[in-house]
Amino acid sequence: MVNFIFGIHNHQPLGNFGWVLESAYERSYRPFMEILEDYPNMKVAVHISGPLLEWLEENRPEYIGLLRSLVRKGQLEIVVAGFYEPVLAAIPKEDRIEQIRLLKDFAKKLGYDAKGVWLTERVWQPELVKSLRQAGIEYVIVDDYHFMSAGLSKEELFWPYYTEDGGEVIAVFPIDEKLRYLIPFRPVEKTVEYLHSLDDGDESKVAVFHDDGEKFGVWPGTYEWVYEKGWLREFFDSVSSDERVNLMLYSEYLTHFKPRGIVYLPIASYFEMSEWSLPAEQAKLFVEFVETLKKHGKFEKYRVFVRGGIWKNFFFKYPESNYMHKRMLMVSKLVRENPEARKFILKAQCNDAYWHGVFGGVYLPHLRRAVWENIIRANSHVKVGTFVRDIDFDGHDEVFLENESFYAVFKPSYGGALFELSSKKRAVNYNDVLARRWEHYHEVPEAATPEEGGDEGVASIHELGKQIPEEIRRELAYDNHLRALLQDHFLDPETAIDEYRLARYLELGDFVKGTYDYSTSDGGITLWRNGTVSGRAARVEKSFRLKEDGFVVDYAVKSDAKALFGVELNLAVHSVMEKPEEFGAKSFEVNDPYGIGRVGVELDREAKVWKYPIKTLSQSEAGWDFIQQGVSYTLLFPVEGELRFRIKFREL
């Protein structure tokens, strides 16, 4: 007989669309638990994230009642995490403990005293032991890949172990990767055969499956397979009546058996994450390396030594994510003693918008918007004022300005541009715009996954081949700079809007990413740079002041070369824009009911305006997402000699 722990993890990101939650509920969460109720001998360890629980409590209270009933019958073990599903390794220890406490309190409302943690994205680092123990946690669930990365062989991964840090000890259960690829994608008998193959007479041996509940109905093709074709009923029926399979919960296992000994796990997540978290060029090489090992039949033998990046690499890979994360950390420290503000910052720690793998993540504007909304709402409880500091630890100081209505953050080292303009009233960051970048999967057709092959069943999203549609490929462009407000361009007067928007133009000046000098005043900043345009001397000076309803900036430009001078404003506009536009104007409005609201831009002289959508290509569980991250507005003025003008930006 072999012990078998079956677990699921149900999560929806903060800020996700209501219709997405409705669909996931009807296609996965509800039918799964209703079928479980029909099998009283079946036991499941379940983790449900806080954002999803809050939605269920408000919209589907009967589901909360069903969970209580299943807990009472002994069929459900509640496994917790941070309430708002943060990556625990990426937030301060004080916040980790509070996040876990909040979800433990909710579990108690369901009738369960939770002692175990589902580690979000299985992102492990050794010093988590102390935080988990301090939060009253006795066991944690990670992947077998973590253990293999520590040098253990596959044969040693059918038991929990202890791990220790500074004298604090916790039990660690390894999830069996083979089961992750069998369940629910292959016929039930394949899983049963595998479980039987593990039976060697050792009564302490345990096989653990714990993975996304959305695999049971939400992932492509799974609803028909799991429910309409009856996979889940057959699975519950088979494993709950099989005399060679002993269904257990984590807590039951630990009352019957002790962990096997001590291990020290390195910083790790699951195998796929080690590919996704690498910079794009390295990720491409990683996939090639894994495929080469597979081709020569050596992957299984040497895979314990195949390691890519770690989760925190995403802050290196996506500077926009890094800036958002460091702003969150900054505010977390400021509001730790303020319970009302702290609730917002705990929400802002929801993991999804900070990274990207097979799901949209950082590429989904509505998820980033939810994080920024909560950072701003938390920040609004404390007065910060003006300061100069390296907020995002990129090695360069930022200038932080505040008035009653806004936060404005400049990067003098990066084009003297405005990289955050956050409205306290609207709780939006107007510059929450992701740059267009090349990702390795734009070229590599498959991911480096050790999937369980076979023609039977339904394909996992890791196995789906994807070709970029031609209509997307035509519009695909990659930026060579980050996107901000008040970015200064010098262009050839013959440049066309299509060349500009598709990043196929020549930048004549060295201002977009160049370093600006600066001086600050109360609520304002003046930035200037002496650079070159077409090899000839040029100077740009801009004096910025925050106002109650927006900002005013005065430009003074000198250039001996004949050029078009452009000031680019990248705004987080979510109302879909299909085609680029070119027009002349002294003022124009932006109306974005789904994102930033209504704003106006006013000039003291007419300018030519280029307007186009900024679209990024990312993979998702359904295929390709060509997503509008925002809209670029570039105000263009001919310059040869001196040029002066004023821009006003106002909330309407």
pLDDT at residue 360 in the model: 86
CA distance 432 to 421: 9
pLDDT at residue 619 in the model: 87
Percentage of the chain surpassing pLDDT 70? Answer: 97
pLDDT at residue 631 in the model: 97
Average pLDDT, the chain: 94
How does DSSP assign 429-461, residue by residue?
ETT--PPP---GGGT-SS--------SSS---G
What is the helix (H) or strand (E) element at residue 370, kind and residue range?
helix 365-379
CA distance 415 to 540: 10
CA distance 432 to 519: 25
* pLDDT band with cut points at 50, 70 and 90 for residue 461: low
For 240-396, strand residue ranges (E) read 245-248, 387-389
Residue with tokens 């006013």: 602
| pLDDT tens track for 83-98 | 999 999 999 999 999 9
Residue 465 tokens read as: 């081949």
pLDDT at 444 over 90: no
pLDDT at residue 432 in the model: 98
The three-class DSSP label of residue 513 is: coil
* pLDDT band with cut points at 50, 70 and 90 for residue 566: very high
76-78 and 44-48 strand pairing: parallel
Rg (CA), the chain: 27
Sign of the dihedral through C-alpha 380, 382, 385, 391: negative
Residue with tokens 């598709």: 502
| pLDDT tens track for 307-351 | 999 999 999 999 999 999 999 999 999 999 999 999 999 999 999
Mean pLDDT of 441-462: 62
The three-class DSSP label of residue 195 is: helix
pLDDT at residue 459 in the model: 62
* pLDDT band with cut points at 50, 70 and 90 for residue 15: very high
| pLDDT tens track for 155-198 | 999 999 999 999 999 999 999 999 999 999 999 999 999 999 99
pLDDT at 453 over 80: no
Q: What is the CATH number that goes with domain 2-263?
A: 3.20.110.20
pLDDT at 452 over 70: no
pLDDT at residue 486 in the model: 98
Mean pLDDT of 597-603: 98
Exposed / middle / buried, residue 60 (Cβ in 10 Å: 0-12, 13-18, 19+): middle
Nearest to 110 by CA among 81, 72, 62, 73: 72
* pLDDT band with cut points at 50, 70 and 90 for residue 447: low
Nearest to 514 by CA among 494, 496, 530: 530
pLDDT at residue 16 in the model: 93
Mean pLDDT of 272-299: 94
Mean pLDDT of 420-429: 98
What is the helix (H) or strand (E) element at residue 399, kind and residue range?
strand 398-402
pLDDT at residue 621 in the model: 74
44-48 and 2-10 strand pairing: parallel
Sign of the dihedral through C-alpha 438, 441, 443, 448: positive
* pLDDT band with cut points at 50, 70 and 90 for residue 466: low
Mean pLDDT of 36-52: 96
What is the helix (H) or strand (E) element at residue 222, kind and residue range?
helix 222-223
How does DSSP assign 542-580, residue by residue?
EEEEE-SSEEEEEEEEEEEEEEEEEEEEEE---S---S-
Chain-centroid distance, C-alpha 77:
28
CATH class assigned to 440-651: mainly beta
CA distance 449 to 460: 11
Nearest to 271 by CA among 157, 395, 147: 147
Domain ranges in the chain? Answer: 2-263, 440-651
The three-class DSSP label of residue 117 is: strand
Q: Quick check: 236 and 245 in contact, CB under 8 A?
A: no
pLDDT at 462 over 60: no
pLDDT at residue 63 in the model: 97
CA distance 388 to 411: 10
Which residues are catalytic, by number?
121, 212
Mean pLDDT of 90-113: 97
* pLDDT band with cut points at 50, 70 and 90 for residue 446: low
Distances (CA, A) of 400 to 324, 332, 411, 530: 14, 17, 9, 23
Cα angle 487, 570, 351 (rounded to 5 degrees) comes to: 115
* Helical spans, DSSP H, in 380-514: 470-475, 497-501
* pLDDT band with cut points at 50, 70 and 90 for residue 303: confident
| pLDDT tens track for 134-151 | 999 999 999 999 999 999
pLDDT at 443 over 90: no
Percentage of the chain surpassing pLDDT 90? Answer: 90
